[in-house]
Structure 1
Amino acid sequence: MWPLVADTDRFNRDTGVPPVEVLGTEANARRRLRLRRLGVPIEWEEEPFEWVRPHRFGVVRRYARGPIVELRVEARLEERDDAGTSLDYDVRVRPRNLLGLLAAAVQIGLVSRSRFARTFRTYDSLATTSEPAQPARLASGGGDRLRRGGEKLREQGVDPRLVAALVVLLERGDEQALARLRPYELADAWQAGRRESLELLLHSTRIGLTELRWELLCPSCRGPAATVGSLRDLDTGVHCETCGIDVSADLDRSVEVTFTPSPSVRAVDRREFCVGGPQLSPHVVAQQLLGPAEERRLTVRLRPGTYRVRALGEAGGDVFEATGETVVTLANDSESERLLRLERTEWRDRAATAAEVTSLQAFRDLFSTEVLRPGEPVSVGTLTVLFTDLRDSTRFYREVGDAPAFGSVMQHLDVLREAVASEGGAVVKAMGDAIMAVFTHPAAAVRAGLAAQRAVAGRPLELKVGVHTGPCIAITQNGALDYFGSTVNLAARLVSLSTGADVVVSGEVLADPEVEELALRREPLAATLKGFEESLELWRVR
């Protein structure tokens, strides 16, 4: 029940609360909000939500004028012995006058009580069944576009089961869920591969069924500080109003790719009905507002992982490993009020980051014009870079002639492209008979290099391969997305050491756990590389 009840944005919508407008954000995520009921504006200051997942949450709203002074909401959920859930939803009002007393009795005691009960009964049913299909709400001509789009996707070789799931989602999915489609969450729901689900949405965007969005996420609250439709429009730094901090663009850590239906298929209502509930920050296990020198002890049940306690808007925090029932002490040792959070650190597990998406061959094929703002380098975190080159290609041209040799080289480039794409990588550029490719995992790059060598062998061609992993910088170069930095430079140097019957890798690549699991034959390599004075650990693997 928690994911449904604690989704206060959806709950407010489902119970008939009008959409809200944010008038301003103060310290510790206090907000000034307004809604209109029957044309009459109602304004209030909202304290930050407090919660301990998945047992309780609450919020306090104070009204500057009108018949109500204050409204407090607290929800408590407890697991029952019969595997059900007990829900206690408590709403308390402090009226300003007699009119407020009457308004509270009618609106909250009768109208809202009935709506809340009906909505909770619906959620109780949803907790044990799948989301019921909603009536189709397509744009004019949207049904035909959706049908033709589904046919195109199947013709392009996309899994028909995933195409059918996407068509149903776009046609009958919940409005709020459609406003922000996360590929990896859909993959989990569809019991499908993450790459397959992501590539499905990339293809559906290319044919006009969906739209792609780049979200610059705040590292503290992890909410979108900015959303743009193109990498070119992505600012390298924006301000998060909730946390009061500046956010810089890092394609691996702070930029997530999401999708939404194309308006030509289905227009989605993007209005907000609540802006601070627990489900808006699913990585936060507990959030508590503490006064100066205040301390609270919380007993929480944590799934295995890494957690930290920190104040909203602050970097760092106290990091620890935990699993199962855990007692956590939140302490505010400052002289001012602070909003403290206990949060999971593994937030990217469910996020398709820009670094991952831009290193997919499907993305580069479908969105070749999608580039960063010229002249603005952006960190993409750690990537694995692969370079290839043909051994003795000049001699090969002389021996067989230019035309036959050129044909063989072009065929070898097709082989490389297929090997890279099959491992989830992307060819960044071809340089004569050589290529540069990027991957998010070292093992994928090594497998692709070895597979390409096997496929090319005997053509008669021999393929030299070098692989290194480390931090990279992305930049727009010659109208395309390219990568630079020491990691790229070292990978480019390694290819010259390959004999064509091995892949030369750095020690960082070989130390990767997934590469170790490949159980490759390995041989240490001693070499001096131009531009790298330090001693390097290098290996030949087969």
Structure 2
Amino acid sequence: MQDNDALFDALRRSADPGVVDAVDDLVRNGRDDELARINAVGFAAGRGLDEETVIAALLHASRLGLFEMSWNILCPSCGGVLGANATLKSVRQQDYHCAFCAVTSEPTLDDTVEVSFTVSPRIRRIAAHDPDSLGFWDYHRQVFFGSGVAFPEPGAFDELSRKAMLETVELQAGERMILALQLPALPVIIFDPVTHTAHLVETAGEPTTERRELSMIFTSAAAGVGRMTLSSGPLRLLLDNRTERRVLVGVYVANAELDRLIGGRRPFLTAKRLLTNQTFRDLYRTETLDVEQRLKIMSLTFLFTDLKGSTDLYERVGDLVAYDLVRSHFQILNEIVASEAGAVVKTIGDAVMATFPAPHRAVSAALRMRDSMRQLNARQGAEELILKIGIHEGPCLAVNLNDRQDYFGQTVNIASRVQALATGDSIFATQAVVRDAESVRLLSSRGVEARPQALTLRGVADRMPVFAMS
């Protein structure tokens, strides 16, 4: 434990000490299942901690080797993990298939790629480090399902599982078994979460007393979903495990109890949110995406800033004073962006490009930036720094440009051109930003009016309403 103490001491020097104490307590005293796939958002809520400081602490802890970070591809229907990746670079662009739900989907960083944290085996050994030692439901909770699935409390869980399951079977490598089942007048899913092999049995027609047979062979190769339609009645199920691992076969009834058993959801840390986190960008600057990798984000908010008349500033006050002023402006903007759950993507001359997970975060940052520049100018006794700000929200691609995580698409272009239209120390934003429900509440609480402007964006075929915040 002395090595662990040294690592936690190092963590306290780079992360919030109160959060580090909570993480330390979890590692020392938490149950194995609590350390298997930590939901950063859920952990923050459970401990009454700020989400951003928890995320930052877990990122620093992972960098130190206390935790292993995982980028998990989730089924949008059941929340099952279709692929676990040690880095974002391993996430494939093509479709993923959930055998349990018979659903095929393309991963999006908004809501089907989660980021979770597992305690390192060098720090504490837990059961999930040896998944073949886990029981049927422990495997599902800690390995197959993502951290966003909220299971019922133990008593309710036991009751629902009895009503939602016909049978559960553990087959060791090379083992075979025959099950005698009675098919109900409802669809039945036969599923193994280890090999992701499934067979869907639809029921139709009059009940029968005739015994039918169904064979399922489990192999290490990727398997499709078998389908058949039978009437309710007896079924002889032949199971053959031809893998080198044990499999966990469950026979599920697609009923209301199954929906209640695995249908609960809770917030989790998405890949999109992590990519817009400043701590992540600072710590994992070159470890995000491959050069040819392009991953979709359905909604991201971009904020661009630029200093008006910065060339005149250098001529008026001299290089040294102007440099110090511009550097102070960058520091203020960086701090505001990070405090609003955003991240600075890059600076271009005196301009800043930042991203936020939601429009209202960008609006809040913009208003604070403008107030801070006005206060800085007041201290200087002159309006030396005039900040122009533009905001837009929409879909984009996360890409790697010049060995750095960046973004590509029309949303980025529009945000930049909205900023170019801004005059004075104005904030211009598109309708998608100012009509966002949280943005409306924020502007109202701050007494800020968003007025439409009759302006045309260069390179955008359709006219877009642009709003000035005053």
Q: Taking structure 2 as the reference length, what is the TM-score of the superposition?
A: 0.71
Q: Which residue number corresponds to residue 422 of structure 2?
A: 498
| Superposed displacement of residue 357, structure 1 | 0.9
The residue type paired with residue 274 of structure 1 is: G
- 2:171 is matched with none
Partner of 1:45: none
- Confirm or deny that 1:425 pairs with 2:342: yes
What is the identity, as a one-letter code, of the residue corresponding to 2:6?
Answer: R
Q: CA RMSD in A?
A: 3.0
Q: 1:341 to 1:162 in 2, by over 3 A?
A: farther
SS for the counterpart of 1:249 is: coil
Mapped contact 2:78–2:263 kept (Cα < 8 A): no
**2:203 is matched with which residue?**
none
1: CA distance between counterparts of 2:229 and 2:321?
78
State the distance in 1 between where 2:422 and 2:337 align. Answer: 18
Amino acid at match of 2:76: P
Measure, in 2, the Cα distance between the counterparts of 1:216 and 1:497: 40
Q: Distance in 2 between matches of 1:289 and 1:211?
A: 33
Spell out, residue by residue over 1:244-279, the C-alpha distance to the aligned partner (whole angstroms, 9 max, x if none). Answer: 554432111211000011233223332243345785
Query: How far did residue 481 of structure 1 move?
Result: 1.1
Change (3 A) 1:348 1:371: farther
- Structure 2 match to 1:381: 298
- Matching of residues 150-161 of structure 1 within 5 Å: 150-158=8-16, 160-161=17-18
Equivalent-residue separation in structure 2 for 1:312 and 1:358 (angstroms):
37
Shift of the alpha carbon at 1:478? 1.0
| Map 1:230-241 → 2, pairs under 5 A | 230-237=87-94, 238-241=96-99
Rate the CA distance shift 1:336–1:357 in 2: closer, same or farther, 3 A: farther
1:287-324: per-residue Cα shift (whole Å, max 9, x none)? 8589999469xxxxxxxxxxxxxx999xxxxxxxxxxx
Mapped partners of 2:75, 2:399: distance in 1: 22
Higher relative contact order (CA 8 A, sep 6+): 2
Counterpart of 1:177 in structure 2 is 34
Cα pair distance change 1:538/1:398, threshold 3 Å: same
Deviates more, 1:403-412 or 1:200-209: 403-412
Post-superposition, which runs of at least 4 consecutive aligned residues in structure 1 deviate over 6 A? 284-287, 289-293, 344-348
User: How do residues 72-111 of structure 1 correspond to structure 2 at under 5 angstroms?
Assistant: none
Q: What secondary structure sits across from 1:350 in the alignment?
A: coil
Q: 2:431 aligns with which of 507, 510, 515?
A: 507
Deviation track 1:41-71 (CA, whole Å, cap 9, x = no partner) reads xxxxxxxxxxxxxxxxxxxxxxxxxxxxxxx
1:422 shift after superposition? 1.1
Does 1:212 pair with 2:69? yes
Q: 5+ unaligned residues in a row in structure 2: which ranges?
A: 153-159, 167-181, 188-197, 201-227, 232-251
- Are the counterparts in 1 of residues 15 and 53 from structure 2 also a CA contact under 8 Å? no
Q: Secondary structure at the match of 2:127?
A: coil
Residue 289 of structure 2 contacts residue 405 of structure 2 at CA under 8 Å; is this kept in 1?
yes
Is contact 1:450-1:502 (8 Å) kept? no
Is 1:144 the counterpart of 2:68 in the alignment?
no
- Structure 1: state its 5+ residue gaps: 1-142, 297-310, 314-333
- For residue 264 of structure 1, the aligned residue among 112, 122, 125 is 122
Q: Which residue of 2 aligns with 1:87?
A: none
What is the match of residue 523 of structure 1?
A: 451
Aligned 8 A contact 1:253 1:381 in 2: no
Relative distance call for 1:500 and 1:147 in structure 2 (3 A) is farther
Amino acid at match of 1:152: A
Superposition TM-score, scaled by structure 1 size: 0.62
Contact 1:221 1:312 in 2 (8 A): no
Q: CA deviation at 1:417?
A: 0.5
- In structure 2, the CA distance between the partners of 1:221 and 1:405, relative to structure 1 (3 Å rule), is same
> Do 1:371 and 1:479's aligned partners in 2 also have CA atoms closer than 8 Å?
no
* Residues 269/262 of structure 1: CA separation in 2 closer, same or farther (3 Å cut): same
Percent identity over paired residues: 33
Pick from 465, 472, 481: which aligns with 2:396?
472
